[in-house]
Amino acid sequence: MTTASSTRSSMDLEHPQDDQVPTSLRELAAQFALLADPLRLQIVEALSHEQLCTCHLVEITGAKQTTVSHHLRLLREAGVVVGAPEGRFTWYRLAEDAFDVGATRLRRIVDHASLAPRLRTACTS
pLDDT of residue 16: 52
Instruction: Measure CA of the first residue to CA of the last residue in the chain; give whole Å.
Output: 45
pLDDT in tens, 28-51: 888 889 999 999 999 999 999 999
The model's pTM is 0.73
With a CB cutoff of 8 Å and minimum separation 6, the contacts of 35 are: 41, 44
pLDDT in tens, 53-85: 999 999 999 999 999 999 999 999 988 999 999
Task: Single out the residue of 61, 102, 65 nearest to residue 80, CA to CA.
Answer: 102
Which segments of 1-125 does DSSP mark as H helices, in order? 23-36, 38-49, 54-61, 65-77, 100-113
- Please provide the average confidence, as pLDDT, over all residues in the chain: 85
pLDDT in tens, 101-120: 888 888 888 888 888 888 89
